[in-house]
Amino acid sequence: MKTYKLNSGYEMPLFGLGTWKSEQEQELYKAVREAINIGYRHIDCAKIYGNENIIGKALNDAFNANEVKRESTKNVLKKTLRLSL
């Protein structure tokens, strides 16, 4: 999988699995596991999506099955900022 080198020197995969609007837990679990199996190392998620537990389970199962090393994955977590005026 191709990567892009950030100014910090960090290598970021060019392609990632987006998980927004993934409401069916079993389907999301299977999608994350399949993405890992075909070479994806960038999983994009956010707390507001409400699916971080199932993504975590899929990743943890992949780590425990030695399908991928934890340090080779790039999980992008977004945090919503609330501005008080």
**3-5 and 11-13 beta bridge pairing:** antiparallel
Residue 49 bears catalytic tag:
yes
Phi and psi angles of residue 62, each rounded to the nearest 5 degrees, phi first: -65, -40
Closest CA to 76 of 43, 33, 53: 43
The residue annotated as part of the active site, out of 4, 10, 29, 49, is 49
Cα 10 to Cα 29, 56, 81, distances in angstroms: 27, 22, 24
Active-site residues, by number, are 49
